[in-house]
Chain A
Amino acid sequence: QSVLTQPPSVSEAPRQRVTISCSGRSSNIGNNAVNWYQQLPGKAPQLLIYYDDLLPSGVSDRFSGSKSGTSASLAISGLQSEDEADYYCAAWDDSLNNWVFGGGTKLTVL
């Protein structure tokens, strides 16, 4: 059972938009930044979004992040087959004094 809650899977057609939710509590998302990681099949994770809504250099602007209260979302627009991957949210938890992850969401581009 992960501390942050994500849907196990989402799917959408090419060129459409999809959102992935990440739900937590005041000790993690409510009080700290959310970061998102993309893990392509067979690869190591890589940073996708940091500080809730900022894109690292080199990441497509088709990806965007947002946060409200104790929940965060990752949106991907103009879906492409290469976006098929697992997506994880993460945040520091002040109560646990730990990093916590969501369980991951598998994105399928139909």
Chain B
Amino acid sequence: EVQLVESGGGLEQPGRSLRLSCAASGFTFHDYAMHWVRQAPGKGLEWVSGISWNSGSPGYADSVKGRFTISRDNAKNSLYLQMNSLSAEDTAMYYCVKSMAATIPEYFKEWGQGTLVTVSS
């Protein structure tokens, strides 16, 4: 059974940084692309970033480009999202999402339960 467990969320002040982690199990992690998708309170889904199986050419939404960095450690079956220069607009539930294939443009197959990030002074 695929399990994706996010951690690292919490309350942070504007301008500060947070690092999210996602521990994956139940599948061969290094075979699949992974993504972060977020959902602001009461709002819809927004793709944040994706990374292919070998970490080549990660993609970012314009809203986070230059501030967020996605990475993965295939040896540790883990996905990360380094979030810098946080603003109130980054307040959201952040979901770790497994792709159905090795590259970014393939559909999202399984989702974690999410970790909540709140940016407020």
Interface residues, chain A, CB within 8 Å of chain B? Answer: 2, 32-33, 35, 37, 39, 44-47, 50-51, 56, 86, 88, 90, 92, 96-104
Contact = CB atoms under 8 A, between A and B. Distances in A.
Contact of B112 (A44, A47, A102): A44
Given A47-B108, A47-B109, A98 B44 contact: no
A101 B45 contact: yes
B-side binding surface: helix, strand, loop or mixed? Answer: strand
B105 interface: yes
Contacts of A50: 100, 107, 109
Given A44-B113, A47-B108, A47-B109, A99 B44 contact: no
Given A44-B114, A45-B108, A51-B107, 20 more contacts: A33-B107, A39-B45, A44-B95, A44-B111, A44-B112, A45-B37, A45-B45, A45-B95, A45-B111, A86-B44, A90-B45, A90-B108, A98-B47, A98-B59, A99-B50, A99-B108, A100-B47, A101-B46, A104-B44, A104-B45
A32 B104 CA distance: 13
- Greatest chain B CB density within 10 A among A2, A37, A44, A51 is at A44
Interface string B45-58: 11100100000000
B88 interface: no
B111 A90 contact: no
A92 B47 CA distance: 10
Contacts of A46: 111
Contacts of A101: 44-47
Interface residues of B, number: 22
B105 A92 contact: yes
Contacts of B111: 44-46
Contact of B45 (A33, A88, A96): A88
Interface string B77-121: 000000000000000000100001000110111111110000000
B30 to A, nearest CB: 21
Contacts of A96: 62
B11 interface: no
Given A33-B107, A50-B107, A103-B44, A98 B61 contact: yes
Contacts of B45: 37, 39, 45, 88, 90, 101, 104
